[in-house]
Amino acid sequence: MNKTAMWNEIHDQVEVCETILAQYLPKASDFWEKLQGKKKILLTGTGASLYACQMAKYLFFRCSGHIPTVLPADEMHYVLSQIDQDTLTIFVSQSGESYETKLVSGILKERGIEFWGITNDGQSHLAQNAAEVFLLHSGKEVSSATKTNTATFLLLAIIAAGHDPEVASQLRRLPEQVKEALDCQAQIEQWAEALCGEMQMYLLGTGVNGATAVEGALMMKEKTFIHTAGSSVSDFRHGTVEVIEKGLPVILVGAGEEMNRQLDLHASYLASLGVEVRIVTDQPERFVRFPGRVIPVPAAGIEELSPMLTVIPLQLLAEAVARKKGLDVDGFRHLSKIVAEYHTEEAGR
């Protein structure tokens, strides 16, 4: 197997996790105190950055005393009039230079309203203007957002819940658990072989992993060109289920006792309709009736932290399918790592 840059970046996540925990977890109580001085929390980003916010919002629900609003960066202008000194806006931008982030953060800066920034570039516009800067410590990332997505999730987890002793204890376990989650390459290769000829598929998650499924689907689309839809199982059941035909590939993602119980029910139902069900779960013993179609991940202990682990097989799968299809795993046809304004005169070149 030729190791692509994307494969290496996925495996970099162990070291990235260790670095972020060492720098930011000791300050978690300070972050929590600052949150308590705010009445509203806004989390915003685009693409994988936005999905990291969606994946992490459940930790704010659980531990921060806030119910944050998660908004795409291009919708922030609708709420600008409501953002005041009692509102904490956390901008997430891997480059720190995205058009939407620069526009809205610039307006807040002019109004004298402080905001926080999560970015991979300490010299970026976002880092230079945010009141509190959280660096992703992810080094250069040339392929899809893998380590920057999980690094964002981890930083938001520390901000929201790192002050809680139970969560902090689990956070310290994550580097070893990430390493364990990565140990599924042989099975990933088998899944990729089976899926690389598909034209469409679905990624569905239960509970907090509905957001994980959306992030996984983004990577599959970017890297494999397979039309992949990601959603919660609940959303799928309320309409999209009508697209089911025999042989449709569906990957189910879940963690925790209750969410795996629901996943079990959905897996049985979909399989009865002829769906090619595959499962990513921290309770593989529930699904022994799907031999070869279950990838286990370590149990996070706290369901809200599980996306850090369940997303890893999805990252590996996107890389493996693209590689087996002979695609440019580490490049893009149209996407730029810094998404600024469109320049239509360049589109035809």
CATH superfamily of 181-324: Glucose-6-phosphate isomerase like protein; domain 1 (3.40.50.10490)
Find the mean pLDDT for residues 90-117.
94
The CATH number for 5-178, chosen from 3.40.50.300, 3.30.420.40, 3.30.930.10, 3.40.50.10490, is 3.40.50.10490
Question: Which is more confident, 19 or 349?
Answer: 19
pLDDT tops 80 at residue 339: no
pTM for the whole thing?
A: 0.93
Neighbours of 124 (CB within 10 A): 22
pLDDT of residue 349: 41
Answer yes or no: are the C-beta atoms of 280 and 269 closer than 8 Å: no
pLDDT band at 242 (very low <50, low <70, confident <90, very high): confident
State the pLDDT at residue 344.
42
Question: Which pLDDT value is given to residue 332?
Answer: 80
Averaged confidence pLDDT in the chain? 93
Q: How confident is the model at residue 338 (pLDDT cuts 50, 70, 90)?
A: low
DSSP H helical ranges for 147-256: 147-161, 165-181, 185-195, 209-224, 233-237
Least confident of 19-28, 211-220, 232-241, 296-305: 232-241
Residue 345 reports pLDDT greater than 70: no
> Which of 53, 70, 130, 54 is CA-nearest to residue 96?
130
pLDDT of residue 348: 44
Of residues 101 and 333, more confidently modeled: 101
**β partners of residue 278:** 251
pLDDT at 347: 43
Torsion of the alpha carbons at 304, 306, 307 and 310, rounded to the nearest 10:
-160
The predicted pLDDT at position 336 comes to 57
Give the Å distances, CA to CA, from 131 to 26, 96, 109, 190.
Answer: 19, 14, 10, 47
pLDDT of residue 218: 96
How does residue 24 score in pLDDT terms, banded at 50, 70 and 90?
A: very high
Q: Residue 325's CB: how many other CB atoms inside 10 A? A: 16
pLDDT tens digit sequence for 134-191: 999 999 988 889 999 999 999 999 999 999 999 999 999 999 999 999 999 999 999 9
pLDDT digits (tens, 9 = 90+) for 58-85: 999 999 999 999 999 999 999 999 999 9
Residues of the chain with CATH 3.40.50.10490: 5-178, 181-324
Overall average pLDDT of the 325-341 stretch: 73
Q: How confident is the model at residue 92 (pLDDT cuts 50, 70, 90)?
A: very high
pLDDT recorded at residue 331 = 87
CA dist., res. 7 & res. 317, Å (int) = 10
